[in-house]
Amino acid sequence: MSDISNPFGQVLVALVTPFTADGEVDWAATEKHIDDCITAGADGIVVTGTTGETSTLTDPEKLRLVEVGKSVSAGRAKIITGGGSNETAHAIQLYKASEAAGADGVMIVTPYYNKPTQAGVLTHFRMIADATDLPVILYDIPGRTGIPIKYETLLRAAKHPNIVAVKDAKGDFAEVSRVINQTDLLYFSGDDANVLPHLSIGASGLIGVTANIAAAPYRTIVDAVNAGDLHTATAAHQMLEPLVRAVMTHVPGTVAAKYILHGLGRISSPRVRLPLVGPEDSEAALIEDELSHVGEIPGLDLSRFRPDRNAAAGGALPKVHGTTR
């Protein structure tokens, strides 16, 4: 569980946001899904992140997700608000409101689309961190944002008292080791396939998409690494590999995770908001083929999986929401 030195937990789920068939947030399904994840071993929930489709959520929806997460967790897990904005002022507004709504921490993604210099990135991070008393995770995912957080920027950001962690989806293990050695930053693996390698070089935990479906094996990996039991951690890593392939390879992770969760009867609809769409038949077939290679995983009964390609790709189009402000 989380402690003073790690205020976020170690097994963090990058939570999907369940929607109804017409694209509205399914609040009952959201509550149940958060509870399912915590019961399976998660001690942190990241709402309104990339996997939660933050770019298509309205601000009121984002704040309610924090409130719902806080209520459902009831102290069993930390609730981290993700997302942010590529406009610094808007990001500050969101994080202040999230703090008031009960968030235990904030995760700031690198400003996207604008492609600021590293000086601009650092200023963005510092100004947000100045505006909140919550612990901050920086989210380094250049494949989505267009720019990395460079090593020198991480070293400078680490000097801010509220910036205490990084979610790494860059995959530069040499840089991760270097920053861990030279700062007190906590590192969280942001790449489902690399959780065990990250932990083995000193990462503190993970923020995972596949953990929406199976958090228990990640709990096993983390607990085994904490105990110095590489054999058990490796076995759980290998157990998860085909499931990670199913979730992360063929379509965006959000789309695949919702398709699988719906097939398992754990959310009411696989719906995603445009411009994301459900898997096409060929993509769904690839996901299903990967699932056929998954062995026994604690807490996951794939014999109950009933694919519903019509629900994923057909039916009424979801409502198109206006401004996210």
In a domain, 325, yes or no: no
From CA 115, how far away is CA 309, in angstroms rounded? 37
Q: How many CB atoms lie within 10 A of CB 54?
A: 22
The structure tokens listed for 272 are 């995603």
Collapsing DSSP states into helix, strand and coil, what is residue 233?
Answer: helix
Identify the CA nearest to 263 among candidates 239, 284, 235. Answer: 284
- Which of 70, 78, 139, 259 is flagged as catalytic? 139
Please determine, for residue 8, whether its predicted confidence score (pLDDT) is greater than 80.
yes
In-domain check, residue 67: yes
Q: How confident is the model at residue 180 (pLDDT cuts 50, 70, 90)?
A: very high
Kindly state whether residue 17 falls inside one of the protein's structural domains.
Answer: yes
Q: Specify if 199 maps to a domain.
A: yes
112 is known as an active-site residue: no
Report the percentage of the chain scoring pLDDT > 70: 95
Q: State residue 314's pLDDT score.
A: 47
63 within some domain = yes
Beta bridge partners of residue 12, listed in sequence order: 44, 207
Report phi then psi at 154, rounded to 5: -65, -40
- Residue 275: asked if its preceding bond is cis (omega within 30°), the reply is yes
Long-range contact set of residues 227-231: C-beta below 8 Å, sequence gap at least 24 = 230/200
Per-residue pLDDT tens for 283-308? 999 999 999 999 999 999 999 999 98
Query: What is the number of domains present in the chain?
Result: 1
What is the per-residue DSSP string for 237-296? HHHHHHHHHHHHSSS-HHHHHHHHHHHTTSSS-----TT--PPPHHHHHHHHHHHTT---
- Determine the structural domain holding residue 164 and report its residue range: 11-229
Better-scored residue on pLDDT, 318 or 303: 303
**Domain-embedded: residue 273:** no
Of residues 76 and 316, more confidently modeled? 76
Q: Which two tokens stand for residue 211?
A: 């953990």
Residue 3 has pLDDT above 80, yes or no: no
Q: How many CB atoms lie within 10 A of CB 8?
A: 26
Q: State the CATH number of the domain containing residue 168.
A: 3.20.20.70
Total-model pTM = 0.94
Dump pLDDT digits (tens) for 119-151: 999 999 999 999 999 999 999 999 999 999 999
Mean pLDDT along residues 173-180: 96
Mean pLDDT of the chain: 94
313 has a pLDDT exceeding 90: no
Band of the pLDDT at 321, cuts 50, 70, 90? Answer: low
Three-state secondary-structure class, residue 105: strand
pLDDT digit string, tens, across residues 201-255: 999 999 999 999 999 999 999 999 999 999 999 999 999 999 999 999 999 999 9
Is residue 246 domain-resident? Answer: no
Please check the confidence at residue 10 and state whether its pLDDT lies above 60: yes
Is 167 assigned a catalytic role?
yes
Is 274 domain-assigned? no
- Which residue, among 143, 86, 76, 134, has the nearest Cα to 109 in the 3D structure? 86
Please check the confidence at residue 174 and state whether its pLDDT lies above 50: yes
- The active-site residue, picked from 62, 70, 78, 167, is 167
The answer on pLDDT for 324 being more than 50 is no
* Whether pLDDT at 322 is above 60: no
